Amino acid sequence: MRFLSGLLALTLTASLAQAGEYRAPRTGFGAPDLQGVWTNTSVTMLQRSPPFKTLVITDAEAAVMEAGFAKMIASALGSDGPVDPNAPAPPVTKSVPNSDFIEMDMKLARIDGRARSSWIVEPADGRLPFTEEGRKAAREVSRLSATAFDGPEVRPTEERCLTAIGSPEGPPMLNTGFNGHYQIVQTRDHVAILVEMNHDVRIVRLTDRTHLPGGVQPWMGDSVGWWEGDTLVVETTNLNPKGALWSMGGGYAYSARAKVTERFTRTARDQILYGFTVDDPVTFTKPWRGEMPMRSAKGPIYEYGCHEGNYSLTNILAGARHQERIAATSGETTP
């Protein structure tokens, strides 16, 4: 009888522990299993909107923010909202509203069931802590995007298909309005993250923590990783200073001294908690930290095509040359 009572107590204790603390499944080589297809789409933005003073907001405040975002989509993109995947085929038309590209979750992200007003958790105000130099660099990126058309080299990297729109590949990997899926594949020595938009693959080396020489600066930087318990820690340096991170709610230009540290922890069968710290003493007055949930998503990831086979960049530059010819004839200056 005493044996049965003890066995029952052990069983209940194990059940309660299992219910209170999730333990990630293991791969065949014993590492926590992060593999699968995931998404981070949400209307939560990098920086906190001024009306919201706290990181965690009420359901009523979340509903206001979600409604405001939906109204913005309708107003700016000429539609009542994102495309309905179950809708019948549309009528034949010569133009398609930009909103038909929107395929994001139109809700705020939630962690532990509570809505988040920003990805940034530190500083407490949810805003990027720019240095004056960092602020000027961010403004220069915006200025060049709107005014520089001398050649393809000065156009934004996402326009040239070197990086994705909205910086979903990162690091840090931020949300965008469409094509926001990731596929994680693990081996004993590497973790690969396939980023849907721009079909890039981030390769994280687990064999050592030695980074590439400083002169080697890939668009997504150089990533090395290690396990701390059930958490995959990834450190990225060598980010290309010609690139920039530009996402919903703000952006900035990297300096050559930037370092990003990411943490991937599987907290449920269908969720990974993704945290990141950005340390760039040229761009920011102090390191800042953010976190977001990555949710399980249906696969597979389909091929993403950018400029392959079309003439967008050619037409952008040709249009600028046309404006210059008109200005030269009329004596005016181009914008």
pLDDT in tens, 224-280: 999 999 999 999 999 998 888 888 888 899 899 999 999 999 999 999 999 999 999
Task: Please determine, for residue 67, whether its predicted confidence score (pLDDT) is greater than 50.
Answer: yes
Domain contains 258: yes
Domain contains 33: no
pLDDT of residue 113: 94
pLDDT of residue 19: 44
Domain contains 320: no
pLDDT in tens, 76-134: 665 555 567 787 877 787 665 555 567 778 899 999 999 999 999 999 999 999 999 99
Pick the closest to residue 170 from 270, 252, 231 (CA basis).
252
Residue linked to tokens 């085929």 = 89
Domain contains 26: no
Overall domain count for the chain: 1
Is the model more confident about 4 or about 68? Answer: 68
Domain contains 90: yes
Strand partners, 252: 245
Q: How many CB atoms lie within 10 A of CB 266?
A: 22
**Residue 67, SS3?**
helix
Domain contains 207: yes
Greatest alpha-carbon pair distance for the chain in Å reads 102
Task: Please determine, for residue 7, whether its predicted confidence score (pLDDT) is greater than 50.
Answer: no
Domain contains 123: yes
At residue 27 the predicted structure's pLDDT band, cuts being 50, 70 and 90, is very high
Domain contains 19: no
pLDDT of residue 319: 93
Task: Please determine, for residue 10, whether its predicted confidence score (pLDDT) is greater than 60.
Answer: no
Domain range enclosing 94: 56-296
SS (H, E, C) 111-177: ECCEEECCCEEECCCCCCCECHHHHHHHHHHHHHHHHCCCCHHHCCCCCCCCCCCCCCCCCCCCCCC
